[in-house]
Amino acid sequence: MTYQYKNLLVEISDKIATVTFNRPDALNALNTEVFAEVTDMMDKFETDESVGGIIFTGGESKAFIAGADIKELAEKNAVEAAIWSRNMMKVFNRIDKFPKPVIAAINGFCLGGGNEYAMACHIRVASEKARFGQPEVHLGLTPGFMGTVRLPRIVGKAKALELLMTGRMIKADEALSIGLVNHVVPHGEVMNKAVEIMKEILVQGPIAVRFIIDSVNTGLNSTLDEGGNFEAEVFGLCFSTEDGKEGLNAFIEKRDPQFKGR
């Protein structure tokens, strides 16, 4: 399957789909066109067997994503802005719940909608030059892509409120210290680290990986008992899969498992 988009560059190698945002003149700012392309791409990736996982990156741009396209936003009234926000949230939730691993390789500015995009990804790897923040308050606005929802879940209520209400931009080392990113690496190594993590995931059982994503998301949005019940269900389902049987037998036979995603 080929992937040709105006604002996204897609390369697939060793089951890793590298998606580079391609609006360098706008610092990869998000607009309706970008969201439409991401939606189409994710629909295709889900059933494309050549894709085991996705890495999003800003490439050689100074930004991963510098935020939403302010010129497009400025044209909206209150009703249009709320509708647009809800529609764009669907894209972010699609990433968050995607059944294959999604990593953000953050090379530079990761602000506003860009930070919200990165938070929707399962894992975040940052360059030491990366900068993070939710600066919407400087414009007299609130975040519109679940920044007030995901940020407290990741860094805690107090730190999230501080960042949201001040709009302060933070460096990569602080982002690491508060748990906003998983790793900080030298600037030229961010993609190498993201690929390293992805390869480590892709040798595992793909059904188990999908169930883990489902179980974590369910647990975060339910009570402890509800989350535990869901975990027990998917744990049991693993025993009905060929991969589950292969993994157990490989352990007993002291060999590496050969998972087939069945």
Q: Label the pairing between strands 102-106 and 123-127.
A: parallel
Secondary element (H or E) of residue 170 = strand 170-171
Question: How far apart, in Å, are the Cα atoms of 239 and each of 102, 168, 203, 259, 262?
Answer: 25, 48, 19, 14, 11
Determine contact, residues 124/118, Cβ cutoff 8 Å. Answer: yes
Edge to edge, the sheet with strand 123-127 lists 8-13, 16-21, 53-57, 102-106, 123-127, 183-185
Q: Which residues are catalytically annotated?
A: 116, 136
Which DSSP string corresponds to 23-85?
-GGGTT-B-HHHHHHHHHHHHHHHH-TT-SEEEEE-TTSSEEE--B-HHHHTT--HHHHHHHH
Q: φ, ψ for residue 11 (rounded to 5)?
A: -135, 130
